């Protein structure tokens, strides 16, 4: 069939011999890409009388949307919560390295820090598309703290934790310096005046997440009614589930969520932070809200030893990360592809479900599912080539191969 360039002169790529994750199931069909977007082949054939310029045999692999990590503190020796003059080069390094783990978009995350750190670091973070240089910063930073509970501070430094003063939102602005490139803010909803802050952040299109908190269920429900839509690393750094007051965990089955609203929750599926039984409980209670996150720290990708997490020194012992000299967990060294495989194994869910927890659901959380997190027609061609065991074989951003597993690594 002759190619018709009346619509666009850009080349058309056709990926064959694959199973595509589309419509929440793996389907045996080809994937068509042009100018960084997923094409509808019927429109191409019948409206344009077009055909592929390039054809790629996927050798039976799965094609799935690129992973989106909305909570990653750093990796490969880079700590996003450290103010340095070459912060940009650190972002570049991490964004490039996570391509091999299937992450095509991410939200750089800062843990509780002094105002001076936010003022220096945040202006150096900018929303940008992904490409051969690395994963995209799709919506902005995730600020985890400092408006959290001292009782559930986890690995956050207590001397930097803050409460809201009389002019609560202005206090938040003064602390962060700017919200221009901020997409998620984690706070404890039981803090006085937090409702005002949640409403103001939500008005500005910023996702409010509940975490590092001793909130009871009614306080959590009130926060959701004011606009909160996410829970930061469910089960970790919050009151444990109790049958008379399940706390923030109770949001998964609450009947007081506003109509049309979905509460999402992050899970660190690394085999350390959450027992497989807890993973199963959360998934079975609210499967469409599960968002896999790495909560990765600077030590991800490095040998065991001492590293940093913002103001704290942490020690890596195998897959465990602790604040130095304690047994307090401090982030993870798991990669996103590892988290996806562990989630699949621990819950016995379908391959489709495991993949969507790291792609579709975070895109829905951020309100960008029209272009990210799916392989629907006209969406961005950010996708992965995976084997049946969900090991990443190749990563594509805007239809361009940005990483491929070396034959020697297979």
Q: Is residue 3 part of a domain?
A: no
The answer to whether residues 294 and 356 belong to one domain is yes
- Tell me: do 163 and 290 sit in the same domain: yes
Task: Tell whether 33 and 128 lie within a shared domain.
Answer: no
Query: Are residues 77 and 222 located together in one domain of the fold?
Result: yes
CATH of the domain at 391: 2.30.40.10
Residues 270 and 324 in one domain: yes
Q: Could you tell me if 17 and 121 lie in one domain?
A: no
pLDDT of 385 above 70: yes
Average pLDDT over residues 44-57: 82
Residue stretches of the annotated binding site for Zn(2+):
144, 212, 233
Q: Which residues belong to the annotated binding site?
A: 144, 155, 212, 233, 236-237, 244, 273, 329-331
Residue 90 lies in a domain: yes
Q: Could you tell me if residue 341 is inside a domain?
A: yes
Q: What is the pLDDT of residues 156-166, one digit of tens each?
A: 999 999 999 99
Q: Is residue 1 part of a domain?
A: no
Using the predicted structure, report yes or no on whether residue 6 has a pLDDT greater than 60. no
Find the mean pLDDT for residues 268-275.
95
Judge if 253 and 353 occupy the same domain.
yes
Residue 295 falls in the annotated catalytic set: yes
The share of the chain scoring above pLDDT 90, in percent, equals 86
Q: Identify whether residues 139 and 266 lie together within a single domain.
A: yes
The whole-model pTM stands at: 0.96
pLDDT at 85: 85
Of 79, 295, 380, 382, the active-site residue reads 295
Domain boundaries, position 80: 66-366
Q: What is the 3-state secondary structure (H, E, C) of the chain?
A: CCCCCCCCCCCEEEEECCEEEECCEEEECCEEEECCEECCHHHHHHHCCCCCCEEEECCCCEEEECEEEEEECEECCEECCCCCCCHHHHHHHHHHHHHHHCEEEEEEEEECCCHHHHHHHHHHCCCECCECCECEECCCEEEECCCCCHHHCCCCCHHHCCCCCCCHHHHHHHHHCCCCCEEEEEECCCCCCHHHHHHHHHHCCCEEEECCECCCHHHHHHHHHCCCCEECCCCCCECCCCCCCCHHHHHHHCCCCCCCCCCEEEEECCCCCCCHHHHHHHHHHCHHHEEEECCECCCCCCCCEEEEECCEEEEEECCEEEECCCCCECCECCCHHHHHHHHHHHHCCCHHHHHHCCCHHHHHHHCCCCCCCCCCCCCECCEEEECCCCCEEEEEECCEEEEECCHHHC
- Over residues 243-262, the pLDDT tens digits come to 999 999 999 999 999 999 99
The answer to whether residue 409 is domain-embedded is no
Q: pLDDT tens digits for 205-250?
A: 999 999 999 999 999 999 999 999 999 999 999 999 999 999 999 9
Q: Is residue 4 part of a domain?
A: no
Say yes or no: 120 and 103 in one domain: yes
Q: Binning pLDDT at 50, 70 and 90, where does residue 7 land?
A: low
Classify residue 2: in a domain, yes or no: no
pLDDT digits (tens, 9 = 90+) for 133-144: 999 998 899 999
pLDDT of residue 410: 47
Residues 219 and 236 in one domain: yes
- Report the CATH number that the domain containing residue 348 is assigned in CATH: 3.20.20.140
Count the domains in the chain: 2
Annotated binding site for substrate: 155, 236-237, 244, 273, 329-331
Same domain, 49 and 186: no
> Are 74 and 171 members of one domain?
yes
């Amino acid at each position: 069939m002759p190619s018709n360039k009346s619509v666009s002169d850009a080349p058309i790529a056709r990926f064959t011999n694959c199973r595509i994750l589309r419509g929440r199931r793996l389907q045996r069909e080809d994937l068509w890409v042009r100018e960084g977007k997923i094409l509808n082949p019927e429109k191409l054939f019948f409206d344009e009388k077009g055909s592929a310029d390039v054809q790629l045999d996927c050798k039976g692999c799965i094609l799935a949307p690129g992973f989106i990590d909305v909570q990653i503190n750093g990796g490969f020796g880079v700590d996003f919560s450290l103010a340095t003059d070459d912060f940009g080069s650190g972002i570049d390094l991490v964004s490039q390295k996570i391509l091999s783990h299937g992450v095509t978009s991410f939200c750089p995350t800062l843990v509780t820090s002094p105002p001076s750190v936010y003022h220096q670091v945040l202006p150096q973070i900018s929303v940008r598309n992904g490409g051969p240089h690395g994963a995209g910063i799709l919506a902005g930073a995730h600020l985890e703290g400092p408006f959290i509970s001292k009782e559930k501070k986890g690995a956050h430094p207590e001397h930097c934790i803050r409460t809201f003063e009389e002019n609560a939102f202005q206090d938040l602005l003064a602390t962060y310096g700017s919200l221009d490139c901020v997409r998620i803010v984690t706070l404890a909803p039981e803090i006085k005046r937090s409702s005002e802050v949640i409403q103001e952040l939500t008005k500005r299109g910023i996702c409010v997440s509940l975490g590092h908190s001793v909130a009871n269920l009614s306080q959590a429900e009130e926060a959701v009614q004011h606009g909160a839509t996410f829970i930061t690393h469910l089960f970790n750094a919050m009151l444990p589930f109790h049958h008379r007051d399940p706390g923030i965990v109770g949001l998964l089955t609450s009947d007081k969520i506003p109509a049309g609203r979905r509460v999402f929750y992050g899970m660190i599926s690394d085999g350390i932070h959450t027992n497989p039984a807890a993973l199963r409980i959360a998934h079975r209670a609210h499967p469409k809200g599960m968002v896999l996150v790495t909560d990765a720290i600077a030590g991800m990708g490095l040998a065991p030893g001492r590293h940093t997490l913002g103001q704290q020194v942490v020690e890596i012992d195998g897959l465990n990360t602790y604040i130095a000299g304690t047994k307090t967990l401090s982030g993870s060294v798991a990669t996103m592809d590892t988290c996806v495989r562990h989630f699949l194994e621990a819950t016995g869910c379908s391959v489709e479900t495991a993949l969507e927890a790291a792609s579709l659901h975070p895109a829905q959380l951020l309100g960008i599912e029209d272009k990210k997190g799916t392989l629907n027609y006209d969406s961005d061609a950010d996708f992965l080539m995976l084997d049946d065991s969900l090991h990443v074989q190749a990563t594509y951003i805007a239809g361009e191969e940005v990483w491929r597993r070396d034959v020697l690594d297979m």
